[in-house]
Amino acid sequence: MTDAPDAKHDSTAAAEQAPREPPSPAPRAPLPPASDAVRAEWGRRIEAEYRSAAITQHLTLWLIQMGASPDLIDDGLRIVKDELAHARLSHRVHARAGGGALPALRRETLGLKGGDEPLEMAVARAGVEVFCLGETVAVPLFKVLREGCTVPVARRALDRILRDEVRHRDFGWTLLRYLLELPCAPAVRQLVERELHAMFARLRRSYMPPGGAKRATISDDDRVWGLMPVARYGEILERAIERDYAPRFGEHGIDAAAAWRRAASAPDRAAAPT
């Protein structure tokens, strides 16, 4: 369909004369200026997506070694591909924002470390921390990031990421349920009850850094590129305790609210004098 006024008069002649180009899109509005903060944040996101891909690949290998159900393994493999798509989309945003060369990936962070414990325990530890905790809060975080984002290339990235994170979150809770149905379920439960507060403490250090609550504003230009103030991360995490973690862990008789209180009252090692 075209809205050119004379298109129907002589379409054959027009087709012969006109170069065969796709219809030109509406003129693109100039992009808002991208700050160093925008470039740094999208650069960081690229690395985070690579890390998510590597960790999920590793976790999925462990699931194969455990003889887990093919459905669960398929879900894991699909997530690896999602994370690589997120990395590609994030890289596009970084480039459009004028970002240049990126620092080398910290390879030692791109994978999981198994210990002397049975594989099921290593899977439980990684599954709970990365998926039940990390991917669950990622859903409301990306929802808010996306709400204020209007730069098309960034919005496209956040649209895809938000859509996928819902499935990644669900993978974590499906995995926990699966582990709690195995013969090793009592040991899995003990591990989660013993370590959940430390996992929350690490999540707090990521999303609620010292002084972060005071950093409550950013510029409109940064906002439209898909950033939000540090303080919002902490608020969203706190809300997730009540909305997501407490009920979801509660289904398995695990008290997430108590683990969170313990994490919140522990001295912050990051802020301790050295």
Q: Which has the closest alpha carbon to 58: 134, 118, 112?
A: 112
Taking CB under 5 A as the criterion, which residues in 156-185 touch Fe ion?
Answer: 168
Instruction: Compute the C-alpha angle 132/84/22, nearest 5°.
Output: 130
Q: Which has the closest alpha carbon to 95: 143, 45, 52?
A: 45
Q: Which two tokens stand for residue 208?
A: 């609620």
Separation between Cα atoms, residue 254 and residue 198, nearest integer Å: 15
Separation between Cα atoms, residue 234 and residue 236, nearest integer Å: 5
Smallest distance, Fe ion to C-beta of residue 145, A: 12
Residue number with CB closer to Fe ion (49 or 120) = 49
The 196-235 contact track toward Fe ion, x by CB under 5 A, reads ----------------------------------------
Residue number with CB closer to Fe ion (83 or 120) = 83
Smallest distance, Fe ion to C-beta of residue 174, A: 14
Instruction: Give the phi and the psi of residue 269 in degrees, each rounded to 5.
Output: -60, -35
The 64-103 contact track toward Fe ion, x by CB under 5 A, reads -------------------x--x-----------------
Q: Which has the closest alpha carbon to 149: 23, 45, 25?
A: 45
Counting contacts by CB under 5 A, is residue 41 touching Fe ion? no
Residue number with CB closer to Fe ion (52 or 57) = 52
Smallest distance, Fe ion to C-beta of residue 168, A: 4
**Which residues of this chain interact with Fe ion, rule CB under 5 A?**
49, 52, 83, 86, 168
